[in-house]
Amino acid sequence: MIISRIGALGVVLVVWLCWSSLLTGAEDHITDPVEVKVLRAIRKSLIDPNKNLNNWNRGDPCTSNWTGVLCSNTTLDDKYLHVIELQLLNMNLSGTLSPEIGRLSHLKILDFMWNKISGSIPKEIGNLTSLELLLLNGNRLTGLLPEELGNLLNLDRIQVDENHISGSIPKSFANLSKAKHFHMNNNSISGQIPPELSKLPKLVHFLLDNNNLSGFLPPEFSELPSLLILQTFGVTQVWLARMGLDTISFFLLL
């Protein structure tokens, strides 16, 4: 009698545990509502002739397999899932990038390469302090490189090559101390290369060919610790290759 009572109590307890874990499970697996709004705003400012983003109408971004949206697989302290990657490369997208993008605060990869996106690079992207890869190459972007991008202290790579970007390279980029790759070739970038950039400790590729730069290559660049390739100055390309620890070779290609 006593045993069966304990048994019944056990069953009730097990059922209650399952039920409550189901409940919290459901609660745990929802995208941050701010980020859902942001994704809608991003889609709204894009033109999507191939209808790649049609499934952005259905359900929850992180749990309903929205094209190109990758999320954290566990919830954070705030109990929400967060968008950590936007992979929308080569989808024939045009239109513009919504400044709302700056509110995807856990984003690590922002990849819109090989589309037909126009307008300028939103300065709000400088708010994405977790960002590691900023890949906007092969679009039709105009305007300036926002100096706010210098706030992206976790950035590993910035690729904005093959656009129509003008203006000069912001000095603030000197703060991108984790960045290894700067691909800025084939734009209309003008002015001088800021000598401050020669302090970048991790720089490996610095591509600036086919722009409208003026002045000289700041001599400080020969002191960069890990630079392998520096490619600049239009038709006359200066390549600087650090071959060994002490051997620096210059090649002038006319």
Kindly indicate which of the ranges 7-15, 22-30, 122-130, 239-247 contains the residues binding ligand NAG, using the contact rule CB under 6 A.
122-130
Q: What is the dihedral of CA 63, 64, 68, 73, to 10 degrees?
A: 10
Our CB check for ligand NAG shows the closer of 113 and 242 to be 113
Residues 6-35 that bind ligand NAG (CB under 6 A): none
Would residue 226 be called left, alpha or beta, if left means φ above 0 and alpha means ψ between -120 and 50 degrees? alpha
Binding mask 144-183 for ligand NAG (x = CB under 6 A): ----x-x-----------x--------xx-xx--------
Our CB check for ligand NAG shows the closer of 37 and 249 to be 37
Our CB check for ligand NAG shows the closer of 62 and 242 to be 62
Query: Binding ligand NAG by CB under 6 A: which of 188, 222, 231, 237?
Result: 188
Our CB check for ligand NAG shows the closer of 209 and 242 to be 209
Question: Cα(241)–Cα(181) distance, rounded to whole angstroms?
Answer: 15
Q: How far is CA 176 from CA 156, 198, 201, 231, in A?
A: 8, 11, 9, 19
Residues 200-219 that bind ligand NAG (CB under 6 A): 210, 212
The β-bridge partners of 7 are none
Q: Give the three-class secondary structure for 237.
A: strand
Report how many helices (DSSP H) and strands (DSSP E) the chain contains, helices first.
Answer: 2, 14
Query: Binding ligand NAG by CB under 6 A: which of 2, 4, 25, 50?
Result: 50
Our CB check for ligand NAG shows the closer of 21 and 190 to be 190
Our CB check for ligand NAG shows the closer of 136 and 242 to be 136
Tokens linked to 101: 């993008």
| Alpha helices per DSSP H over the chain | 2-28, 33-44
48 binds ligand NAG (CB under 6 A): no
Residues 128-147 that bind ligand NAG (CB under 6 A): none
57 binds ligand NAG (CB under 6 A): no
92 binds ligand NAG (CB under 6 A): yes
How many residues would you count in the chain? 254
Give me the phi and psi of 246, to 5 degrees please: -115, -10
